[in-house]
């Protein structure tokens, strides 16, 4: 069985399991929302992460169906189980995001599942802004008009030009965990300057920064001292299926 075929069966048999990782206020540990992260409960291999199948999904064009499966199921779970002041952040593949019917179908899904648009944030990677900046700007503007937020994921790892970043209507930039991991380290690997610049840029553009991959108290304290108010990471809570006891936060 090829993985492509296995993925189609997985969709059909609901073998995917949405996990949720809290996004918290760093000073109070208060949960602001959750990022949905897909996991696959593979019949032979057990629970596997997107690193092992997303690329095949993208190359075999299963990715759209998988993203919609996740949108549908995680929105329904969020509407039922999250308290009213918490939002849901969804990852979307760059390929998929630029499809013409994306926004309409997203609104349909929200209507069906009962999650208000104001409680949804769509995460797009920096790379997806590049191929077609005009098109992406239009889509983000449509999302904003409909009340849906947008986050730029893995910020700092791509090639987005700072000169045009301000032209995208974004609510959030997510500081990539590679910078957070090196915070406070001495020498050339020191990423305090990078994080500092991202925070300054975000502040100037009126976009909320969220730091990713916070694993230690030291990283959290450093980010707070630098003025970053929100974060995500194993220290604050691991991705977990709904219903599991929370690990932190
Ligand atoms: O969860 P980690 O859990 O391993 O996620 C790895 C990558 O997979 C991240 O870059 C994340 O953006 C991506 N990812 C997780 N869930 C989804 C999803 O439902 N759809 C898409 N397109 N990407 C996802
Ligand atoms: O690209 P994106 O930011 O969507 O992917 C988030 C990825 O980061 C997922 O794979 C998630 O499981 C992982 N992740 C979340 N918190 C941490 C953390 O504290 N440390 C590490 N190493 N990975 C994390
Ligand atoms: Mn993400
Ligand atoms: Na990220």
Q: How many CA atoms lie within 13 A of 82 on its CB side?
A: 29
CA of 122 to the centre of ligand 3 (A): 9
Tokens of 38: 């897909």
**Which residue's structure tokens are 């990677």?**
125
* pLDDT tens digits for range 139-179: 999 999 999 999 999 888 876 666 678 889 999 999 999 99
Are the beta carbons of 121 and 171 closer than 8 angstroms? yes
Q: What domains, with CATH codes, occur in the chain? A: 3-241 (3.20.20.450)
Could you give the residue ranges of the DSSP H alpha helices within the chain? 3-12, 54-59, 63-81, 94-97, 102-113, 127-130, 133-145, 162-165, 177-181, 192-205, 217-226
Q: What is the signed CA dihedral for 66, 70, 76, 78, rounded to 10 degrees?
A: -170
Lowest pLDDT segment from 53-62, 80-89, 179-188: 179-188
ipTM (interface pTM) = 0.96
pLDDT for res 122: 97
CA of 90 to the centre of ligand 3 (A): 7
Residues at CB less than 6 angstroms from ligand 1? 37-38, 49-51, 54, 67, 70, 91-93
Testing ligand 1's pocket by substitution, the residue of 16, 22, 91, 154 carrying the most ligand atoms inside 8 A of its CB is 91
Q: With the C-alpha atoms ordered 79, 25, 181, 243, is the resulting torsion angle positive or negative?
A: negative
pLDDT for res 97: 85
Tokens of 120: 């949804």
Minimum CA distance residue for ligand 1 atom 7: 50
Query: Taking the model in full, what pTM does it have?
Result: 0.95
Closest ligand to Cα 89: 3
Minimum CA distance residue for ligand 2 atom 12: 239
Strand partners, 47: 41
How far is Cα 77 from Cα 154, in angstroms, rounded to an integer? 25
**Which residue's structure tokens are 């700072």?**
162
């Amino acid at each position: 069985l090829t993985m492509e075929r296995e993925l189609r069966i997985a969709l059909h048999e609901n073998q995917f399991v949405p996990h949720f990782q809290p996004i918290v206020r760093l000073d109070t540990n208060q949960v602001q929302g959750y990022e949905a992260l897909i996991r696959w409960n593979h019949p032979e291999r057990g629970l596997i992460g997107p690193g092992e199948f997303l690329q095949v999904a993208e190359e075999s064009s299963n990715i759209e169906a998988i993203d919609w499966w996740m949108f549908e199921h995680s929105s329904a779970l969020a509407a039922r189980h999250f308290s009213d002041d918490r939002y849901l952040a969804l990852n979307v593949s760059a390929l998929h995001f630029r499809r013409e019917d994306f926004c309409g179908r997203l609104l349909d899904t929200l209507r069906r599942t009962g999650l208000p648009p104001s409680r949804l944030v769509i995460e797009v990677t920096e790379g997806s802004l590049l191929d077609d900046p005009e098109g992406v700007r239009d889509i983000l503007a449509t999302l904003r008009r409909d009340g849906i937020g947008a986050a730029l994921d893995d910020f700092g790892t791509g090639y987005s030009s700072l000169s045009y970043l301000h032209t995208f209507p974004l609510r959030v930039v997510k500081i990539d965990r590679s910078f957070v991991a090196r915070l406070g380290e001495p020498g050339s690997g020191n990423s305090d300057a990078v994080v500092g610049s991202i925070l300054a840029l975000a502040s100037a553009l009126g976009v909320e920064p969220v730091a990713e991959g916070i694993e230690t108290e030291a990283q959290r304290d450093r980010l707070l001292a630098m003025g970053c108010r929100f974060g995500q990471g194993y220290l604050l809570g691991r991705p977990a299926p709904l219903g599991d006891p929370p690990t932190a936060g």
